[in-house]
A and B are shown apart, each in its own frame.
Chain A
Amino acid sequence: MMTSVNAEKHCTSLPIRVPAAFFSCLLVFLFLASAAPAYAADNEVHFSNEFSYTFNDITGPGGDDGSSLTRGFRYLNIFGFTGNGTVKELEYNFNLGFKATDDRRNDVATFSPTNIQGRMTNKIHTVNAGDTFESFSQYSLSTAVKGASYRYFNEQKNSPEITMVYGYVLPRWDTIWGGVETQAIERTAYGMRIKQNFSPNIWAGISYVQAKDRPGTRIMSTDPIYDSNNYTVDAEYKPMQGLTFRGEFSTSRTTISPTSVEGQNEDRTHGTASRIEAVGEGGPSRVSLEYERVSTEFQSILGSATPDREKIKSKWRYTMTKNIMLNLGLLWFRDNLDGQKAYRTDSYAPEVGFSFKNLLGRQSATADLAYKYDRRFGAGNGSGISTADHMTTLNYRDRFGPVDSDANVSYTIYSTEKDQRQAKEYTYNLSLNSRHEIGEAYVLKPVLYLGGMTARDDLALETDQIYEYSFGMGFEFLKLKLNSDFRIGQNKLEKSAAGTDNSSKTFGSFNVYYRPPFLKKFNEGMLYLRSFVNDFRFSTQSRSFRENSITLGVNLQY
């Protein structure tokens, strides 16, 4: 994979297909745009197309390993076509899109569909095809599929809400027909859910989902193949205004084939997960309390769960006065529910925070102060080693005359017993920005940033220091509808450990965004230029490199 990326970096010739790709998109766009006004008044369509053309230049011996850019001229085109409306009793919407690029850092495929989706409803029956995202509940289904779903719900008769979904769980459309670079394990998802509203304050649902992988589609021989079934019930009850109870219980039966090697036994697991949550809101308080237990063998292939965990979580947000808010929280969780691990880990994470407005009588001043403690007995690695970490953060925002300020300070102590880790970190940054109008035609926006971090390792007696400073200026030419900005700066990493690299990056960027009158029809279409230079210097000179990039683009919407 990396070989092909590196090979791409050395390609600097101008691809002939670039103008063809751009003009094809433009022709489609203009055709659709010209056809749009003929559409009925109750229906609407929108198009968007962003085309950008980039030249990247990477010099220096460390460029191939260090730079994340692809050398040479590269294009990227993102096209979208959406619509919605009503035909008799049917409400519909659709969403189509594609992406084209020759930069493998943007996408492994030159041309790929992004969204293919259509949806129709008559308020009782709803059909969705293409990109389909039905979220049943946390443990059962919260994954988008390429397929279809159907929902029946008669609101006036308060009928049960019945949803069925079927599709492939694939990250992208071209996996279905694409080549080696876009292939993925073929996973099919089936699901059904019935939900009933018993009153405006109570509902309950039952769900069944199945995720099934096709064994012949493994990418690596060690990829596990799942055949998993989840049966879930969930419910919500609001006994009074401001108080909500939610609960969910799920059981899973899963067959896991660990490798393609013959003789490796399939693993059959059966697990359960349950959670209950109470949320109370009223007056100045909001309190939530949650309990969850997910057994070691529970699998949620299409939903979300952390196996082998029992947890209690609580939060209390309290508005103490008009200007002070208190946040209190505690999370406790543990593993080793089946007692199979050598050590059990218990984690306690209490936190306390205050938010202040009008601090010290200053109307523009706001501050957030928070302290978090993370105590783990066992540290979760089966070693029995415990950790105790402390983190304190302060954020202060204020306005001094024409200057807005935003300052952050944090101090963290990491402590792992048996002399495994003793470290401290200080992070600090300050940004100052301002806005100055000159007449009615121009705006100047200077920005100054100063920041840094000091990390001290008390065991190795080493200190790493990071500094960054930058200055920028934004220009707005209001009558011309042209915005521009530049920024220059430097960051440095200074290390005290022998055999490691000190490094610095000197950087500059310049951008221009212009909305010309001739693109007004395209929702204030925009032309833009973005450019930057990054000059990386390392103590080991063979790692130094410089990257220059310039991008021209046009963004049209209709």
Chain B
Amino acid sequence: MLEALLSRLGLPGYEPEAARQKIYGVIGDFDTPEDLLRAIRTARAAGYTRMEAYSPFPIHGVDEALGAPRSPLGKIVIVFALIGLSAAVLLQWWTGAVDYRLIIAGKPLFAFEPSVPIMFELAVLLSAFATVLGMFHLNRIPTYYHAFFNYSKHAGASNDRFLLAIEAGDPKFRADEVKLFLESCGSRHTEIVEA
């Protein structure tokens, strides 16, 4: 029901069946992080460019091997930190010195010093939300569907297996060739995965 409705809206990941590609790619399964890294390097040398690795923990060196760019998350977060900081100044100034002026213990209606704690707290609060929601956005989660889960042994990627997908979007992609290639790299279980 829900899925049908979402697919009618054409949201990312819910495109109508016809709009989807038939094949996601070919996924191979490796024993160790080192085997995976070796396979990525071989694939890059062989000219494949659109690849994705799957692993139960982040592996040092995978990003370099895949040639992935740095995450832009830090830039998102700094913007929200500054918004939080400014919001705190405005909040304390407007409530205390504009909208409800009340002299308490002869203190000034607004001053920088007593405003610091809340400035700090709101900057941290907004940064934390920006970090988590920004990460969600960059990672496209929450998501209800991903072709990766069509791989019969996808559960290995959250346990003790190290997977490499060569995606159908790759200019050099020919499913049968890629399957043979991944097998030659030492993949234990290679599958052509539907999108």
The finding on whether chains A and B are genuine partners in a shared complex, rather than unrelated, reads no
Residues of B bordering A, CB below 8 Å: none
Residues of A bordering B, CB below 8 Å: none
